[in-house]
Amino acid sequence: MLSGRRLDLLDPSPMDIEIEDIAHGLARVARWNGQTIGEHGFSVAQHSIVVEEITAHLKPGIEPKWRLAALLHDASEYVIGDMISPFKAALGVSYKDFEERLENAIHVRFGLPPKSPPAIKKLIKQADRACAFFEATQLAGFNHDESLAIFGAPPAGYNLTIHPLAPQQAQERYVQRFHVLSEAAGFERSPNQAFDTE
């Protein structure tokens, strides 16, 4: 990683994960394999910020730690990239296991439980699909009916106009949002503070 960390992909340690590395990578990974309109690709970093916002719209008053989980829902892609869903399915269980180990390490690194409760995972998935609806119709060439059929209707009362950001801008916004949520959740720690893996 650019931070100098060495991450063992087969046995990832929370100690080797840094938010700056995640933000840098996600800001340079394009959603839809880059097959979108605009001067910049729509990055996973920017997508993650929107998903966190939609999560809070769907469940007002949700705890900051679960908003943080929403922001980090695709964090593993800073290492493995953003594979489209059909390809993930084709790779099968071994890929999902690999992805899950990395996600668990990321959660532990930033004070979250290794696995989110099923209700939270479902909520974040709903927000993820809502974001994909807007991305598909505004950036990826889908018409409204196609997006409805694939992703379902976006949540009532939530509107989004997407303007893909340059990588550096997306990276900075991701890190900023991480610190706001991490502090609100009480997870900000000093560099010398030990990790709590319980």
Give the phi and the psi of residue 43 in degrees, each rounded to 5. -80, 155
Confidence of residue 88 (pLDDT cuts 50, 70, 90): low
- Global pTM reads 0.90
* Residue of 28, 65, 33, 67 whose CA lies nearest to 50: 67
Give the phi and the psi of residue 30 in degrees, each rounded to 5. -90, 135
For residues 69-75, give the mean pLDDT: 97
DSSP-derived letter for residue 17 is -
Domain spanning 14-184: CATH 1.10.3210.10: yes
What are the tens digits of pLDDT across the range 129-187? Answer: 999 999 999 999 999 999 999 999 999 999 999 999 999 999 999 999 999 999 999 98
DSSP-derived letter for residue 149 is H
112: its two tokens? 């979250």
